[in-house]
Amino acid sequence: MKELDGLRKGFRVSAIVNNQLEQGTVKWIGTIKGTMYIGIEFERAVGNQFPETSGAAPFPCSVSHSRLVFPEDVKRTGVQIMEQKKKLQQQDENHYLLRPASFLCLSDEVAAAGGGVVKGNGNMNHRHHKSQTDISISSSISDDDSQFVLTAAGLSPVNRNGDEETMELTEFHEKLTFFYKCCTQAKRLIKELRVKYEELPIHCRFEDCAVLNVNLEKVKGFKSEVEENILGQLDRCKLEMETVMRFPEILLPSEERKMSQEIQEVEQSFSNFDQEMCNEIEGLENFSVAYQNLQDFLQERYARFTVIKTRLVQVEKNLVKDESALSLRIKGIQSILSVLERDHDSSENSELSRLLSIVRLYDYMDISRMLSQTQDLILAENYLLQDVRTKRALLTEARVSYNNFMARYSKFHSWYFDYMKRLGETKATGQDFDVQYPSLVTEREEKRAEFIEILSSARSLRASIFDHSAVDQKIEVLQDQWKVLVEKVYRARSRKTV
């Protein structure tokens, strides 16, 4: 009703009657059985048979359904609206130009009674002429300065009486009004359900994932309730629209378009609400799944970490006494290292990063503790990985040192027995010991440096991963052998000297 804002009783208007411009004055604006009308008093008689319209009865220009006549209505009703810069051309401040292609005025009987139903085509020669636009008016005319919007109403053929037309108009108006009422109720229902939705306990942080899942089910249940209520109301609106569509001769295309827009508004409002709930449910589900997967992932990683540490303790539990035991330990350490490096590779870390990124997208729970635990686990894994790598390097180095020690130990051991054998043979053959002694002593002294190096490497092994007793035993053997060498040579020389 914004298009004719300001049009009131007393304003000057013009109307096209039989292709002639007629001047008049707005005498009244009122509502008759739910339909708004404007009454115009012309300055001269309109038509040959209705002289009493001059200064007497009004010109009934229908204003129905609060809609302005749109261009598409012209094709069906023949109503013309001057449209330039405004919906209706305003000739001066208080003068509006109305251009209906046909109009109705009062018949002789109606004029005397002050109201009734009249049919006409603007030709005024006879009231039973076929009309393009039939309009009903009533004797219940009241002054009303309400704002309004012009439209035209195409009514039934002229072969029906006025009472039938009035009943059809009344029924049409009631159906149309009820349709808009249904749409209003649907919109109000959506707003009310939105308020209830905002009150659901899903817009805060949850204590744990179990509480989140409980509220997720509440949201799903509420969504089902919303769909049932709103879709039912929407179906009702569409049904009422179909009822209104059963009046094709009355319903203007512009009104039909407005009804379609109302349905679309309700559908769009519901669609937005439904999409909002779907997004919320999807977010809760994604967070719940990602959070649970992250928990399972971390628990599995922590369990593997605990198993690895236990295995490492078991591998290092037994002391290394020989090369075979050393090889077994290196094998065990290498197995542990393989598991740690597998957990530390890009695929494992990528999965962890993916789960963490999903969880961080939402603010349903305080995940700071989980993130801290995750960081602690990653740091512990990294530390253990470096520790095991260091152990493997030490074991590899120890095996090289052990092999070198055993090679030199065996070589010295062989020399010792050979030396002792030659010393015995010298004494047994009765050779001049004074001749042999210097060379034997020199050979023994040459072995002293090698003997000291062997003892030093043995002590290094003793300080590493080897069993002290195993290394000490070999050191003791070496020391005893050297002691024998010294005693044998000097004792032999002493006996010879005596």
- pLDDT at residue 425 tops 80: no
**Position 144 confidence tier, pLDDT thresholds 50, 70, 90:** very low
Most confidently modeled range among 55-59, 72-76, 233-237: 233-237
Cα 221 to Cα 224: distance, rounded to the nearest angstrom: 5
Using an 8 Å Cβ cutoff, are 80 and 74 in contact? yes
Cβ-based neighbours of 167, under 8 Å, separated by 6 or more:
none
**Position 422 confidence tier, pLDDT thresholds 50, 70, 90:** confident
- pLDDT at residue 147 tops 50: no
Give residue-wise pLDDT tens across range 236-286: 999 999 999 988 877 888 888 999 999 999 999 999 999 999 998 888 888
Is the domain spanning 171-280 CATH 1.20.58? The answer is yes
pLDDT, greater one: 371 or 33 = 371
Instruction: Report percent pLDDT > 90 for the chain.
Output: 15
Using an 8 Å Cβ cutoff, are 62 and 37 in contact? yes
Using an 8 Å Cβ cutoff, are 22 and 16 in contact? yes
Over range 141-156, report the average pLDDT. Answer: 30
Out of 43-52, 55-64, 455-464, which region has the weakest mean confidence (pLDDT)? 55-64
**Position 140 confidence tier, pLDDT thresholds 50, 70, 90:** very low
Out of 59-68, 127-136, 440-449, which region has the weakest mean confidence (pLDDT)? 127-136
Dihedral in degrees, nearest 10, Cα atoms 467, 470, 471, 472: 110
Cα 28 to Cα 144: distance, rounded to the nearest angstrom: 7
Cα 123 to Cα 105: distance, rounded to the nearest angstrom: 10
Q: Which two tokens stand for residue 196?
A: 């209830």
Give residue-wise pLDDT tens across range 189-226: 999 999 998 888 776 677 777 888 888 888 899 999 99
For tokens 């009122």, name the residue: 30
pLDDT, greater one: 207 or 293 = 293
Over range 331-350, report the average pLDDT. Answer: 81
* pLDDT for the residue numbered 137: 29
Cα 263 to Cα 186: distance, rounded to the nearest angstrom: 10
Q: Hey, what long-range contacts does 442-445 have (CB within 8 A, 24 or more apart)?
A: 443/419, 444/419, 444/485, 444/486, 444/489
Using an 8 Å Cβ cutoff, are 27 and 58 in contact? yes
Over range 416-421, report the average pLDDT. Answer: 86
Dihedral in degrees, nearest 10, Cα atoms 211, 215, 217, 221: 160
- pLDDT at residue 49 tops 90: no
- pLDDT at residue 14 tops 90: no
Mean pLDDT of the chain: 69
* pLDDT for the residue numbered 370: 83
* pLDDT for the residue numbered 34: 54
At residue 63, φ and ψ (nearest 5 deg) are: -130, 95
* pLDDT for the residue numbered 156: 28
- Per-residue CA distances from 139 to 30, 47, 58, 384 (Å): 11, 22, 11, 100
Domain locations along the chain: 12-158, 171-280, 292-401, 404-497
Instruction: Report percent pLDDT > 70 for the chain.
Output: 62
pLDDT, greater one: 98 or 441 = 441
- pLDDT at residue 418 tops 50: yes
Out of 88-102, 228-242, 278-292, 329-343, which region has the weakest mean confidence (pLDDT)? 88-102
The amino acid at residue 155 is: L
Give residue-wise pLDDT tens across range 85-94: 333 333 333 3
* pLDDT for the residue numbered 152: 31
Within 10 angstroms of residue 340's Cβ, the number of other Cβ atoms is 21
Kindly report the pTM of this predicted structure. Answer: 0.51
* pLDDT for the residue numbered 227: 92
Cα 249 to Cα 168: distance, rounded to the nearest angstrom: 10
Most confidently modeled range among 64-68, 204-208, 335-339, 350-354: 335-339
The residue among 277, 193, 273, 180 whose CA lies nearest residue 229 is 193
Fold classification of 404-497 is Methane Monooxygenase Hydroxylase; Chain G, domain 1 (1.20.58)
Cβ-based neighbours of 174, under 8 Å, separated by 6 or more:
34
Give 61: exposed, middle or buried? Use CB within 10 Å, 0-12, 13-18, 19+. buried
- pLDDT at residue 120 tops 60: no
pLDDT, greater one: 291 or 344 = 291
Cα 50 to Cα 125: distance, rounded to the nearest angstrom: 9
* pLDDT for the residue numbered 185: 94
* pLDDT for the residue numbered 114: 32
- pLDDT at residue 343 tops 90: no
* pLDDT for the residue numbered 16: 58
Using an 8 Å Cβ cutoff, are 136 and 162 in contact? yes
* pLDDT for the residue numbered 96: 38
Most confidently modeled range among 15-24, 43-52, 230-239: 230-239
- Per-residue CA distances from 303 to 233, 310, 377 (Å): 55, 11, 11
* pLDDT for the residue numbered 253: 82
**Position 95 confidence tier, pLDDT thresholds 50, 70, 90:** very low
- pLDDT at residue 65 tops 70: no
Q: Are 171-280 and 404-497 in the same CATH fold?
A: yes
